[in-house]
Amino acid sequence: MKEKISASVEEGLLKQLDTLIGAHGIRNRSQALEHVISLHFKQDSTLKAVLIGSNLSKKNVAHLPNLLKRLHEAHVSEIIIAGFNTVELIYEQVQKDPFYAQHSTFLKEASPAGTAGVLKLAAHYLSETFVVCYLDVDLDLDVQAMHAFHQQTKSVATMAVTHVEQGKLTDYIRVGGNKITEFQYDTGRTTKLQNAGLYMFEPAILEEISSKGSLENDYFPAWAKEGKLTAYLFDS
């Protein structure tokens, strides 16, 4: 239930509030005010997100506002953007977001170190559960619901997995219950299950990762065999 109120706001603050209209589904000042108040009371959240981007173009990052919106909804308090030669391009997009423009860290690799190497680079900033998102994919996923699932299953590593009928498939994924029992990437064998490029990790997993390597080739297959990799199945 909503209650109507009246409030006096400084003109400068009101202009800043108006910049939110049109972003994150905000249509008017009332919704903008609700958004700001909501963020204020959620800023104690420790959930962070690592955004991994390499060899991106402006077309690739066009969906970034949609991803940031979903991270907002999941109460992600800070984002860490890491990559080799595209950090500047991503920075330009993030600076358009009223919240994450002020709550973001940019890490540029000296040389490409792979998806695992990027996480190792960001390890210093990750002491609690964190989200990892690849920036070359766009997906319709409730990140908050996935976070709740990750907590409920008490998994150290959760992968978003979707069902794909058509298109270029790269993954061989077998699932038993909510566990991924087998994972292989780009071997020529595929199933209709596809890694969606969004993950939830516990910081303990960082101890197993080296400063160079690929999550898909070097770690996911082993974690699947060890029963450490949980599947969050969604259809969108």
Q: What confidence tens digit (pLDDT) does each residue in 73-131 have? A: 889 999 998 877 777 778 888 888 989 999 999 888 888 788 999 899 999 999 999 99
- Mean predicted confidence (pLDDT) in 193-199: 93
Residue 41 has pLDDT above 60, yes or no: no
d(CA 192, CA 196): 12
Whether the CB-CB separation of 74 and 154 falls below 8 Å is answered with no
Residue 43's pLDDT band (cuts 50, 70, 90) = very low
Say what percent of the chain tops pLDDT 90.
47
- Mean predicted confidence (pLDDT) in 137-156: 90
The model's pTM: 0.78
Q: 76: burial class by Cβ within 10 Å (0-12, 13-18, 19+)?
A: buried
Whether the CB-CB separation of 84 and 108 falls below 8 Å is answered with yes
Residue 39's pLDDT band (cuts 50, 70, 90) = low
| H, E, C per residue of 132-179 | EEECCCCCCCCHHHHHHHHHHHCCCEEEEEEECCCCCCCEEEEEECCE
Residue 51 has pLDDT above 80, yes or no: yes
Residue 21's pLDDT band (cuts 50, 70, 90) = confident
- Mean predicted confidence (pLDDT) in 209-213: 91
Residue 153: name the closest of 177, 173, 181 by CA.
177
- Mean residue pLDDT of the chain comes to 85
